[in-house]
Amino acid sequence: GVLAMLDIRDLGFAPWPGAIVALPGGALWLWRHPALRRPLALSAASGLVIAGLIGAIVSISQPLRTPLPEVTLRTLDGAPQPLPALRGTPLVLNLWATWCPPCERELPLLVNAARSERGVRIVLVDQGQDAATVRDYLRAHRLDPPVVLLDGDEALLRAYHSPGLPTTLFIAADGRLVSAHVGELSQATLAQALTQLRAAARKPVGGSAR
């Protein structure tokens, strides 16, 4: 319904359906109030700029039917890890950095999930930092994630057109991006996204994805 289209809770905000719903009523109201047309037109122009920025952020949540990017990450020991080699099981890639406060808040949730979730691989991918920095940070915060990789040149941020950190990518076993979340994850958001990821895994190959 309309309320669902205007939902701005944790999982994101879709501005364009709401705008479509509002346009007819707004046009009629302005036709009846000619003195307000110019100032409101200026406000609307500013609003469109803001909406465009929101749309750019939200667009990452649309399904992307392309394979995993040809990106080679590094382990903390310096060994190469080609991203396409991680195909074959549902995958969660959390793009983060040690200087990012929302990343710090959500990391314990992700580490716990990485150890408890079955049938899904959860990987922390640090953006733009070296192994020593990441090791020291994890040790200081008493975090021991199963898999940590390094993306020294932030290739994944560019590949998925992410506007910032943290970004969490939920990827099907075939490499298709099922959904993504920009910003701090809550437990409810993570659970819902994992449910969606598992549902995508149960769809037949070549089936429709929403």
Q: Which residue has the higher pLDDT, 42 or 90?
A: 90
What are the pLDDT digits (tens) for 167-197?
999 999 999 999 999 999 999 999 999 999 9
Which residue ranges make up each domain of the chain?
2-61, 72-202
Nearest residue to 100 via CA among 164, 149, 46, 19? 164
* Max Cα–Cα distance, the chain, nearest Å: 69
Kindly tell me if the per-residue pLDDT of 16 is higher than 80. Answer: no
73: Cα within 13 Å, side-chain hemisphere = 28
pTM: 0.70
**Superfamily name and number for 72-202:** Glutaredoxin (3.40.30.10)
